[in-house]
Structure 1
C-alpha cells in the first residue's frame, strides 16, 4: 500500500490532503508512507538500476548504444562508449532565505529552480543523475560538468576511458578543454561566429549530425517530467528529496520502460552513410541565389498557380528528405499562415522549377525568412533558407520542410490545416478598438 501511495503521488502530482481523503488516512500517515518508500527504494532498488556503478561500460556499448550514433561518431574497432548529457530543471518555490533564493534563481528561466545533470546512453537509458545543483551563473552546464569530472563523482574518470564520446549542447562549450584534457571526444552543435546571421553550410551540416543523436536526452528529460509531481513547482521543504525523486523515476524508467530510441543496424548504417555523405557537400542553391541576387530581385517572380507541377511525395519520402520527423510535425502550423493568405508561393519566370516563399518566424512577429526550393517533376533537388540553419543539406530546416510538405503531400491528401486551431477568437486584443453598433434612429440630429 505504501508503494502505491508513493507512485500515485509522483505520477499524479496530487497533494497529501487529496491522497489522504482518497485512502481515508491522515496526512501524517501519507508523509510517513512516502518517507518509508523513498528510504527503501534508495537503499535497494535505485543502486541496481541507475548510477555508473550499476552497469558496466561494455554492457552500455553492446546493449545501449544505437548503431546510428556509433556509425556517425564512433569507431567500432575502438570500442567507444557514447553518452549524451544535459541539465534538466525542477522548479521550486521562492525561499525566505534570501541567500538560497539568489543562488537558485535562474535568469534564463526567470524563476527559482534546481538542476539535476542527466547522463543517458544513445538509446535513452539513464546512466546516472548527478545533483541537483544550484541555478545561478556559477552553475551552468559547463561548470556542473567540470565539477563532476574534477570531483570524480561515481568514479566517472575511470568508468569513461580515453576516446569515449560525449554528445552535448552549446551550454557545455566552456567544458570542452577539460574534456580534451581527459581524452574525451566531444561533439557539440556549432556556434554562430560574431556578426554572423547564418551558419556556413558545412558547419550547419555538422550540427545536424549532433542534433540527430542529442535529441534523446531531451526526450529523457521529458520522460522525467511525465511524473507530474516533478513537473510542478515544489515547496522548498522538498529540496532535500528532489535528487532522490529524480533518481527513483529514472530507475523505474530503466527497469520497466522501453528504450526511447531504437534502430535496425542495417537501416541505421544506411542513414549514417547518407548523412555523412551529405555533410561534406555545400549548398549549391545558396550559391545560385547569392550570385543572382534572387533575394532582392522581385520582378522576376510571380504567384504560383494552383496547378503548380510540384512532385507528389509520400510520408516515407518526406522523412528521407528531412532525416527526422520533428520538422514534419511543425509543418501544419507553419503553413497555416500561407493557407490563410498571409504568405505567397512565388515561381521564377525564367526558371519554372524554382520557387520562393517568405514564411513568418514562429517566435517573433517582426521576423520572416525567405526560402527557395528547386525541384523537377519527380524530386526536390535543392533548397536554401535564410534562417540560421537554412544552408544545411543534411536534412532541411522546418521552413523548407513546411513548404515541401504542403506542396508535395498535404494538398493532395486534404490535411493542410489539420489540428491547427486559432484560439485568438476567444481572447481580447487591446490593439483593436471595438466600436458598438449605433441605431441611426436614436442619433440626435
Structure 2
C-alpha cells in the first residue's frame, strides 16, 4: 500500500502483501499496526481510497481520518445522481496521481516481471528505494505547481458540486424526446 500526496510524491510504501489479499484486509492490517500510518497522517486528514477499501472506511473514520471513495451504484439504479457523480469526480481527480505513481513503479524492469522467491526478504527495501528514487529523479506527477490555476480548478469543481442538472430535469419532465415533433 502506498501513501501518496496529491501531487504524486510517495511518502511511504507499507508492507509486502500477497496477491490474494484484498485492499480491505491490507488496510485492516495496517490500521491495527498504526505506527506507519500515524507517522505521516494526522486526525482530520482526508484519505482518498478506491472501491476496494469499502469494508475499511469505518476503521479510517474511527482513527479520525476522513475517507473519500467513489460511490457504488446501488442495485437496480442505472446511473448515479448528479451529486453522486460529481463527488466521484472529485475523488477521481485526486486518485489518478496514485495510479500514475503505481504505473511509474511498475515500469522498473525489476517489478515488471516475476520476482524470484530468494529476493522476497529484500523486496520491501527494494520498493522503498525505488519509491525514493522516483521522488528524487522523476519529481512530482503534477508538473504545473501554479497554485492560482489549481485553486481556480478546485473552486470550479466544488462550485459544480451543488449546481442543478437542468438537462436531467427536462428529461424527467418528459420535455425532451428522441421523436421529432
Report the TM-score, using the length of structure 1 for normalisation. 0.38
By how many angstroms is 1:291 displaced? 2.4
Mapping of residues 21-420 of structure 1, within 5 Å: 117-136=1-20, 139-154=21-36, 156-261=37-142, 262-292=144-174, 294=176, 298-300=178-180
The structure 1 segments of at least 4 consecutive aligned residues displaced by more than 6 Å after TM superposition are none
Q: How many Å separate the matches in 2 of 1:228 and 1:284? A: 50
Larger radius of gyration, structure 1 or 2?
Answer: 1
By how many angstroms is 1:293 displaced? 7.0
Cα distance, 1:298–1:180 mapped onto 2, change above 3 Å: closer
Gaps of 5+ in 2: none
Kindly provide the CA deviation profile for residues 267-289 of structure 1, in whole angstroms up to 9, marking residues without a partner as x: 11111111111111232112212
By how many angstroms is 1:188 displaced? 1.0
By how many angstroms is 1:227 displaced? 0.7
Kindly provide the CA deviation profile for residues 40-67 of structure 1, in whole angstroms up to 9, marking residues without a partner as x: xxxxxxxxxxxxxxxxxxxxxxxxxxxx
Kindly provide the CA deviation profile for residues 244-283 of structure 1, in whole angstroms up to 9, marking residues without a partner as x: 2221211111222221114311111111111111111232
Q: Tell me: higher relative CO, structure 1 or 2? Use CA pairs within 8 A at least 6 residues apart.
A: 2
Q: Is the 8 A contact 1:149 1:157 kept in 2?
A: no
Structural RMSD (CA): 1.8
Q: Is the 8 A contact 1:122 1:216 kept in 2?
A: yes
Q: How many Å separate the matches in 2 of 1:221 and 1:285? A: 38
By how many angstroms is 1:178 displaced? 0.8
Q: How many Å separate the matches in 1 of 2:116 and 2:109? A: 14
Q: How many Å separate the matches in 1 of 2:40 and 2:116? A: 36
Q: How many Å separate the matches in 2 of 1:298 and 1:187? A: 38
The number of residues matched between the two structures is 180
